Amino acid sequence: MNILVCYWQFPEHDKHSTALRITEIVSIFLKQGDNVTFFADHRFSYSKANEKYKQFLENSGVECFSCVNKYPQNITDFIELISKHKFDVAVFLHYFIFNDYASQLRKTQPDCHLILDTVDLHFLREKRQAEVTRTENCRKQAENTRLREFRALQDADSVWVVTEKEKEILLKSIIKIDFNISVIPNIHRNYDKLIGFEKTNGIVFLGGYRFPPNKDAIEFFMKEIHPILNKSLPGLKITIAGSSPPKHFSNYKDIFPNVNVSGFIKDHRTMIKSHRVAIAPLRFGAGMKGKIGEYLCCGLPVVTTSIGAEGFGFNGNEVIIADNPKDFAKGVIQLYSYKEIWETYRNNGVSFMKQFTPESVGKKLRRIIKSLDTNLRQ
């Protein structure tokens, strides 16, 4: 099949979980013999650094299309692309990409099956943010996003979500008789070489800080959880890792010498697996949290919130879930201090993540694409 994938940039798979998931999905398409074309509209930003990710795709056998014009004028670039190619399936990542481009493809190639990959439900994440911040602007933004996102959901031939929870939410919300929705979760590769308890040190949080839930999580941790934790584990090494940390994060290091704000880490897995415990004190968000998948695959026991754990389907003994600062700190102390407990959570987490490997998710994705191929040929 000829498959078109549309996103706002070439996926920077070593920087955030959405890009990693896209890259793995494209790899699955290629392995099943499909021809893949990737369109990036660079609506938010363009940098030469993104070109290496284009090169990565091209080296894998993907035809990549870069925009000449700036958004929204680059819609003409998209029209030019689809005038020269015939596609069986098009995958649009995020509702705003679908809303801007899908109708153009529908006009010229009505037989092309249009898929909206939500990645996460944006309106749900923003609604939760409004509930935490209690600001009217956030509430209005969430409602505006809901209307735009639901428009895309209604117009798509089929929809992909990353969790059963979000599928359930949409099935209750979308009034559409032939609503076709599938769960395609995040994809993670297990790390074979795990480190023992004695060779680990400190706790770590990994995230990109242009993403509001991650920035809020660190601010919440340092204000509400760290003071409790510091009484029991004074001087505990804390690594705040990931791209684009705001300037005020440096204040944490000035006050607490044991806090390290590392910025972007090229090899994040080598970095995080040297730590003993991973944290994800998220107060709002949606979808699956890629950081938690990466933590578990690297053999790090995790303390997170209900929001952080959402969507994985944990049975109760893979991560510690705590929503208030006191219980969160208690969970960190427990994992950090007791080897037997640490090993139990580490082993359970690694085993649990086997269902999210490229092989496991790939089987499901291949079935979905194969069914589309059958229907298109009828």
Q: Quick check: 73 pLDDT over 90?
A: no
Band (375; pLDDT cuts 50, 70, 90): low
How does pLDDT run across 86-110, given as a tens digit for each residue? Answer: 999 999 999 999 999 999 999 999 9
What is the pLDDT averaged over residues 21-27?
96
Q: What is the pLDDT of residue 374?
A: 61
Q: Quick check: 64 pLDDT over 60?
A: yes
What is the pLDDT averaged over residues 340-368?
94
pTM of structure = 0.90
48-52, 181-185, 296-300 — which is least confidently predicted? Answer: 48-52
Query: Distance between CA 170 and CA 202 in Å, rounded?
Result: 40
Instruction: Assign 3-class secondary structure to the chain.
Output: CEEEEEECCCCCCCCCHHHHHHHHHHHHHHHCCCEEEEEECCCCCCCHHHHHHHHHHHHHCCEEEECCCCCCCCHHHHHHHHHHCCCCEEEEECHHHHHHHHHHHHHHCCCCEEEEECCCCHHHHHHHHHHHHCCHHHHHHHHHHHHHHHHHHHHCCEEEECCHHHHHHHHHHCCCCCCCEEECCCCCCCCCCCCCHHHCCCEEEECCCCCHHHHHHHHHHHHHHHHHHHHHCCCCCEEEECCCCCHHHHHHHHHCCCEEEEECCCCHHHHHCCCCEEEECCCCCCCCCHHHHHHHHCCCCEEECHHHHCCCCCCCCCCEECCCHHHHHHHHHHHHHCHHHHHHHHHHHHHHHHHHCHHHHHHHHHHHHHHHHHHHHC
Q: Quick check: 378 pLDDT over 60?
A: no
How does pLDDT run across 318-331, given as a tens digit for each residue? Answer: 999 999 999 999 99
Band (193; pLDDT cuts 50, 70, 90): confident
**Could you give the percent of the chain with pLDDT greater than 70?**
98
Band (267; pLDDT cuts 50, 70, 90): confident
Q: What is the mean pLDDT of the chain?
A: 92
Q: What domains sit in the chain, N to C, each tagged with a CATH number?
A: 2-187+357-377 (3.40.50.2000), 197-355 (3.40.50.2000)
Band (359; pLDDT cuts 50, 70, 90): very high
How far is the CA of 225 from the CAs of 36, 241, 285, in angstroms? Answer: 46, 18, 19
